[in-house]
């Protein structure tokens, strides 16, 4: 099993310990099916918030609900890619449609979304506001799209 992959229950304990040490908790999330430079920019900027970066990754079932098709890469393949990055401290499986429940459970300092969400309705925004989590849209301008890249390859 991958050392960065943790259960939700383990993550709650990890976050408590990190908060005791006054570390920022940064929650990022996504499907990460076709990893590209835009994802890398997003996670690099998350790490620049000087804290512990936790990445919620949609399970294969959740991915299919969100995208309407199964992922190209399995959940464990996507976890392996993310875990190899120095910007990522922990990875957790997300079975829900969005990260609102995770925000409520761990109450991160920051919830980050890609720059392509700037000016758009973010479903987790209300929950984040209630628990005191700051929502940020980060990364460079949208240059890549996993969906568009897969369509180009006739996925």
Residues 6+ apart with CB under 8 A from 67: 31, 33, 147
Contact status, residue 52 vs residue 23, Cβ threshold 8 Å: yes
DSSP string, 18-52: HHHTT-EEEEEEE--SS--HHHHHHHHHHHTTTEE
Cα–Cα distance measured from residue 33 to residue 73, given in angstroms and rounded to the nearest whole number: 6
Angstrom distance (rounded) from CA 77 to CA 106: 25
Residue 87 in contact with residue 41, Cβ under 8 Å?
no
User: pLDDT truncated to tens, each residue of the chain (155 aa)?
Assistant: 578 999 999 999 999 999 999 999 999 999 999 888 888 999 999 999 999 999 999 999 999 999 899 999 999 999 999 999 999 999 999 999 899 999 999 999 999 999 888 889 999 999 999 999 999 999 876 565 555 554 565 54
């Amino acid at each position: 099993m991958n050392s960065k992959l943790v259960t939700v229950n383990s993550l709650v304990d990890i976050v408590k310990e990190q908060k005791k040490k006054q570390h920022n908790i940064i929650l990022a999330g996504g499907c990460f099916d076709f990893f590209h430079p835009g994802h890398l920019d997003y996670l690099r900027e998350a790490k620049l918030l000087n804290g512990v970066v936790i990445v919620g990754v949609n399970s294969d079932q959740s991915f299919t609900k969100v995208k309407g098709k199964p992922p190209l890469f399995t959940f464990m393949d996507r976890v392996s890619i993310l875990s190899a990055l120095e910007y990522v401290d922990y990875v957790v499986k997300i079975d829900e449609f969005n990260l609102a429940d995770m925000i409520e459970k761990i109450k991160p300092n920051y919830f980050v979304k890609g720059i392509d969400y700037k000016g758009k309705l973010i479903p987790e925004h209300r929950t984040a506001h209630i628990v005191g989590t700051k929502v940020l849209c980060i990364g460079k301008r949208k240059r890549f799209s996993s969906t568009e890249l897969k369509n180009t390859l006739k996925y």
